[in-house]
A and B are shown apart, each in its own frame.
Chain A
Amino acid sequence: MLAFTLRRAIQAIGVMLAVGIISFSMFRFAGDPVNQIVSLDTSAAEREAVRKSLGLDDPVVMQFARYFGNAAQFKFGVSYQFRQPVSSLLAERMPATLELAICATIFAMVFGILMGVYSALKRDSALAKIFQAVSLIGISLPTFLIGILLIYLFSVTLGWLPSFGRGDVVRVGWWTTGLLTLSGLKALILPSITLGLFQLTLIMRLVRAEMLEVLRTDYIRFARARGLTTRAIHFGHALKNTLVPVITVAGLQFGSVIAFAIITETVFQWPGMGLLFVQAVQNVDIPIMAAYLLMVSLIFVTINLVVDILYTVVDPRLRSTIRRPA
């Protein structure tokens, strides 16, 4: 088990190195970094001095090693537009994005699994058919449109919920949270639904398909022949087997929830990392873009690792193959 985790961790570092190269090369592709720092009337000598002071005359490999070493310590340089360290900018924005992503995922998981199980068990009921039809809409409508529709309905027409921002936030250490104030919670509802709707429909359809598959297996038939109650068969035996693939998908989706938060955050002017990234793109603020790329990859890689480990917790068969590699 330890060897397995270690092996996966080394693979994860490899992935991060590759992403680091891409992120590093962004600085070069966008032109000479010195030109972006100095003004038009800076003399050539002064430019050379800047170049030297920033270490830009070192070999590329050296520069990359320095960049990656700094990035590993969460030092991403200084933002061109804000003149502040990127790491503190990201740290300031991260709680907003994470709270949104976690709420959206919980919303998607809870309703996705409930609706999926229901539509698998009561396959022919009217409600199950409605779920199926609505889930198609959820999968095919783009996120920004859903966001705008929700704003129109609940903020503009009904006036129940705020249409933008995070509401009042409370500072707990360095973490700012909107979960402790009423306006913060109200502000969280619409963005969470917008961000989670796609995942919800995905999880619902996956749970339904998996559950139907599991209900056809021999061990479910045998469980029925053993006279177990329908409840025990559906929720004890079938659901647990259904959740094995659902964990993977939901886990991997958490990464894309954070990545896709860019759109939702833009629509709702949510002060998170995604909005910061969009502003950075508009202003060619490369340190922020590069750091964002690294952060999102790190989150993805970490989630992958956690999902792999979670897998072995749920499925005993994997545990033994890991213990005794073939």
Chain B
Amino acid sequence: MTNPVLSVRNLEVEFHTRRSILHAINGISFDIAKGEVLGVVGESGAGKSVTGLAVIGLIDPPGRISGGEIYLSGMRIDHLPPEEIRRIRGKRIGMIFQDPLTSLNPLYKIGDQIVETIRTHLNLSETAARKRAIDLLAEVGIPAPEKRIDAYPHEFSGGMRQRVVIALAICAEPDLIIADEPTTALDVSVQAQIISLIKRLGRDHGTAVMLVTHDMGVIAETSDRVAVMYSGRIAEIGPVQDVVQNPLHPYAKGLMGAIPTLAGEDKRLVQIPGSMPRLSAIPNGCSFNPRCGFVFDRCRVERPEPIAHGTQAVACHLYDAAPKTAIKETAA
């Protein structure tokens, strides 16, 4: 495998509050290859969005990256001075946020916002940038782009605005797109269009995509690989087929069990008891242990590290060869 576009190693993010330091991300590592879509799933507060913001260098105080490294095509970017990371944002990493209704500045024409972004990163004249903006709008599927370029954001529907946001994210041909719940605020019929648009753009331009969502359906449809996050850690990561059909981590199993199927019998959906721990009260050992049906003594004291298991990697003591005998007793 060639150099991955994005390589995150043991990333840690913490937030300083008046009372204590909260660890939002607790040592996560993953790679995204050229043209690959990595889906990141998890409950609210699992650290999905914070991971995306950390990669693009938008963690604001009181938060900070407290450990680990981030490499973009082999170049370390997590410790760059603000001005240099600014040049990377928008040019080499594009970002799409959740709510298209509030992502665009209401007082400027969308064309001006695109031209402004293009001219910040590429050395183009006003007219050349405008022509590129029209091409971009056409590429993301906005009809009559040469007319719509002079419209204001409020003159677009939510789905169309998200297309404009995507056009803005890809306007400098980035190596990586971080899409933070790009479809959550849209209605279902538009969701599919936006997803296939992101997928197509990734394929056509060879762009790596980090797709943050809590919608397993979106992940299954778009991603090549998926990372399941739980309270600031990656519980399981692997090819999307394997993780969906054969989840290893008890949390991932619960998550997949909670997906309704059309073909399935009339069974009750599986529920994971309890809720994710708050950042101020993460239990010792494996953070999932209070909710886990397979919990045993080791889970309460030792934090599991990712273990390779076939094509997948899973952070669970169940898959550690040594204490396997202990499992059956507790689980029974």
Q: Do A and B associate with each other?
A: yes
Residue among B86, B154, B155 making CB contact with A227, cutoff 8 Å: B86
A28 on interface, CB distance cutoff 8 Å: no
> How does the 8 Å CB contact mask read for A199-229 relative to B, with 1 for contact and 0 for none?
0000000000000000001110111111111
For B152, what are the chain A residues with a Cβ–Cβ distance below 8 Å?
A: 316-317, 320
B89 on interface, CB distance cutoff 8 Å: yes
Whether the pair A232, B120 counts as a contact (CB closer than 8 A) is yes
A218-B97, A219-B103 given as contacts; is B154 within 8 A of A320 (CB)? yes
* Interface range on chain B (Cβ under 8 Å from partner): 20 to 34
For A320, what are the chain B residues with a Cβ–Cβ distance below 8 Å?
A: 152, 154-155
Whether the pair A222, B91 counts as a contact (CB closer than 8 A) is no
B282 on interface, CB distance cutoff 8 Å: no
Smallest beta-carbon distance B102→chain A, Å: 4
For A315, what are the chain B residues with a Cβ–Cβ distance below 8 Å?
A: 106-107
Whether the pair B154, A317 counts as a contact (CB closer than 8 A) is yes
A297 on interface, CB distance cutoff 8 Å: no
Residue among B90, B95, B107, B117 making CB contact with A240, cutoff 8 Å: B107
For A236, what are the chain B residues with a Cβ–Cβ distance below 8 Å?
A: 116
For A72, what are the chain B residues with a Cβ–Cβ distance below 8 Å?
A: none
Q: Select the residue from A218, A224, A226, A317 with max chain B CB neighbours within 10 A.
A: A226
A316-B154, A317-B154 given as contacts; is B102 within 8 A of A226 (CB)? no
Q: In the complex the two chains form, what is the Cα distance from A217 to B99 in whole Å?
A: 11
Number of residue pairs A-B, CB distance < 8 angstroms: 79
> How does the 8 Å CB contact mask read for B92-129 relative to A, with 1 for contact and 0 for none?
00110101001111111100000011001100000000
Whether the pair B88, A227 counts as a contact (CB closer than 8 A) is yes
Smallest beta-carbon distance A128→chain B, Å: 16
For B121, what are the chain A residues with a Cβ–Cβ distance below 8 Å?
A: 227
Q: Is the interface of A mostly helix, strand, loop or mixed?
A: helix
Q: In the complex the two chains form, what is the Cα distance from A307 to B299 in whole Å?
A: 66
> How does the 8 Å CB contact mask read for B143-187 relative to A, with 1 for contact and 0 for none?
000000000101100000000010011001000000000000000
B87 on interface, CB distance cutoff 8 Å: yes
Whether the pair B90, A232 counts as a contact (CB closer than 8 A) is no
B56 on interface, CB distance cutoff 8 Å: yes
Smallest beta-carbon distance B106→chain A, Å: 6
Q: In the complex the two chains form, what is the Cα distance from A219 to B99 in whole Å?
A: 10
Q: In the complex the two chains form, what is the Cα distance from A34 to B277 in whole Å?
A: 86
Whether the pair A226, B168 counts as a contact (CB closer than 8 A) is yes
* Interface range on chain A (Cβ under 8 Å from partner): 20 to 34
Whether the pair A218, B89 counts as a contact (CB closer than 8 A) is no
For B155, what are the chain A residues with a Cβ–Cβ distance below 8 Å?
A: 320
Q: In the complex the two chains form, what is the Cα distance from A151 to B109 in whole Å?
A: 50
Q: Select the residue from A225, A228, A317, A320 with max chain B CB neighbours within 10 A.
A: A225
Smallest beta-carbon distance A193→chain B, Å: 33
Smallest beta-carbon distance A232→chain B, Å: 7
Q: In the complex the two chains form, what is the Cα distance from A314 to B152 in whole Å?
A: 12
B58 on interface, CB distance cutoff 8 Å: yes
Smallest beta-carbon distance A324→chain B, Å: 11
A218-B103, A219-B102, A240-B107 given as contacts; is B58 within 8 A of A226 (CB)? no
Q: In the complex the two chains form, what is the Cα distance from A217 to B102 in whole Å?
A: 8
A237 on interface, CB distance cutoff 8 Å: yes
**Contacts A/B (CB < 8 Å), 30 sampled:** A218-B97, A219-B102, A219-B104, A219-B106, A221-B58, A221-B97, A222-B95, A222-B97, A222-B104, A222-B168, A223-B105, A224-B89, A225-B58, A225-B90, A226-B117, A226-B120, A227-B86, A227-B89, A227-B90, A227-B117, A228-B116, A228-B120, A229-B86, A230-B86, A232-B116, A315-B106, A316-B106, A316-B109, A317-B106, A317-B154
Further contacts, 20 of them, CB under 8 A, given A222-B103, A236-B116: A218-B97, A218-B102, A219-B105, A222-B165, A222-B168, A224-B58, A225-B95, A225-B169, A226-B95, A227-B88, A227-B121, A228-B90, A229-B86, A230-B86, A237-B108, A244-B107, A315-B107, A316-B106, A316-B109, A317-B152
